A and B are shown apart, each in its own frame.
Chain A
Amino acid sequence: MEELALLFPNLTLGFSTAVSPANLFYCFAGVFVGTLIGVLPGIGPLAAIAMLLPLTFNLPPVGALIMLAGIYYGAQYAGSTTAILVKLPRESASVVTCMDGYEMAKKGRAGPALAVAALGSFFAGTVGVVLIALFGPPIAELALKFGSAEYFSLVVMGLIASAVLAHGSLIKALGMILLGLLFGIVGTDVNSGMSRFAFGVTGLTDGISFVVIAMGLFGFAEIVSNLERGGAKRDLLFGRIKHLWPTLDDFRRSWKPAIRGTAIGAFFGTLPGAGPTIAAFSSYALEKKVAKDPSRFGSGAIEGVAGPESANNAAAQCAFIPTLTLGIAGSGTMALMLGALTIQGIAPGLQVMTQRPELFWGLIASMWIGNGMLVLLNLPLIGLWVKLLTVPYRMLFPAIMMFMAIGVYSVNNQSLDIYITLMFGVLGYVFVKLKCEPAPLILAFVLGPLMEENLRRALLISRGDPTVFMTRPISAGFLVATLALLLIMVVPAVRKKRQEALEDQPHDTTA
């Protein structure tokens, strides 16, 4: 309980650092820029932080860190906006938000979806910060226990869990997972350095980027199928807006998922790698499992927005734990954050907390303040976003096309990405027609390379001994959980099939 005793003096120090006018300004500048880039295509948090890095050379280290961190979690926070409004997920964690958030928007409930996402994120953000403050170092040690075997087992669990995302047939969802794994292979093989499935195209040697596949399968395909479904006659695609704000019932449904999502996010966030993504998918899978009526999921269940959004934001905040305390970065953005620290002459590591307490606690306090600013910044914007949806679709879709084109092109500044997006767009439309859901494919696409890499690496390290996956306790735990998950999924499916055979009338849940 030593942590608790020290918490108050530490937090006092942190807040006294964070509320200085200059630091408040850096914090605001950070979350403001983060919100902007989270909404606009064309530039991700990584590029934005890199661009602002030279500016921070002349700032005090605390201010620099507060601002860069603000960009990072601000962008994560705002990432849900385009996912909910126009089905354009900016990063893999937002794919989950699309599933029910966009359906809510189509039913005229964009306001409640955005508000719940914002409030859930705020809750997760603030709780995440407290967790960092209390258990930062011990949780970070956990990250070091994660070797290749553990990662492999975790990814397998994540993949199986993603089948739950589909509200159609389980076997087709499994097919989409396998297809996603194949798309994930495109690019240079880490072990041999060989480029695979690149068909001699240099632009493919680093693989297909997430934005390309997501804009194609979600954004492009959605526009085509909207135009098919009478978009030509009907100008308003989105349902009439009944409430701008969540109702009491929405809150009643959302608070538990938000708490569970936060816990899941805090756990996965400390793991380097795909933390926020796995957290968001896991939270969705969990909410769907505990829901009284799982069939609502996929057609606008608010729980499916509250849980994953809280999870991915908690994960985003907790990603700072291993970065600051161990100096290990789980993502490119965190690596850049480390770079920003070192360029200022600060070596990350446990000594940061003792040698530069004002830096560590100042950052943590600023995250609290920043999360508050984000809510204040985003809630008023909701009205504006919802207004945007009242623009006739015939004018809205060319604008969405433009946003996608600019966003895709600017990832690598190459036209090739536009063409590949188009290919995935057409494929995505075929998926719509065949009722194959793309979300599991995308998760598999993101996790597939991690799975193969860690499988091969674990076997290299164990000198070819496959029992490592069972002899290492954490890994074994994940595999057992995977098995349990499979049973949970298959048993009701079998039972349902029998029931269907009796009733002779499958009830269709897709609206």
Chain B
Amino acid sequence: MRFRIKNQEDFWSGLMFINFGVLAIIVARDYPMGAAMRMGPGYFPTYVGALLAGLGAVICVRSLRREGERIVGWAWRPLIMLSVAFLVYGFLMEDRGLGFVPALVALIVLSSLSRREFKPVELTILTVALVAGAVGIFSYGLELPFPLFWWR
């Protein structure tokens, strides 16, 4: 194999930079460019995007030649569970959501599920303690204007 990727970290970094750069250029096409001396809103993003894509290409090419490390061991379970926890929290905090307390409970329980072992008693105590603390500090202490439940 002549085009073996010798440095996976760099190869994918380069590819990521190229992607972001090209995306920036494409989106910025909708904005007027202006001229160098009177720049329009599209000028800066286009050039930064082009530089980024170019740099990404250099990194990619280098990664084919210089030895480096392989990427291993993605933490899929934590990544997915913590993402779900944040999504559900955000969703429950929306205007028509269930309120601060249910959102916090969901966030803490779902986050904890990112680990395989699961201790129901400990989790219950932790959840109650954290939610009580948060409501005390943020809702009553700092008067953050979050409705606690769906009825208020």
**A interface with B by C-beta (< 8 Å):** 40, 42-43, 169, 171-172, 174-175, 178-179, 181-182, 185, 189, 191-192, 194, 196-197, 220, 223-225, 227-228, 231-232, 394-395, 397-399, 401-402, 405-406, 409-410, 413, 415-416, 418-419, 421-422, 425-426, 429-430, 433-436, 452, 455-456, 459-460, 464-466
Contact = CB atoms under 8 A, between A and B. Distances in A.
A401 B82 contact: yes
A401 B12 contact: no
A185 B39 CA distance: 14
B107 A405 contact: yes
A459 B71 contact: no
13 contacts: A175-B14, A189-B41, A194-B41, A223-B78, A224-B82, A228-B78, A409-B90, A418-B87, A418-B89, A422-B86, A434-B10, A435-B69, A464-B38
Contacts of A410: 138, 144
Contacts of B52: 175, 178-179, 182
Contacts of B126: 395, 398-399
Nearest to A198: B27
B44 A185 contact: yes
B5 interface: no
B86 A181 contact: no
A379 B21 CA distance: 46
B145 interface: yes
A410 B82 CA distance: 20
A192 B34 CA distance: 11
B134 interface: yes
A419 B87 contact: yes
B93 A182 contact: no
A171 B20 contact: no
Given A232-B117, A464-B38, A171 B87 contact: no
A398 B142 contact: no
A397 B117 contact: no
Interface in B36-89: 36-41, 44-45, 48-49, 51-52, 55-56, 58-59, 62, 69, 71, 73-75, 77-79, 82-83, 85-87, 89
Nearest to B24: A182
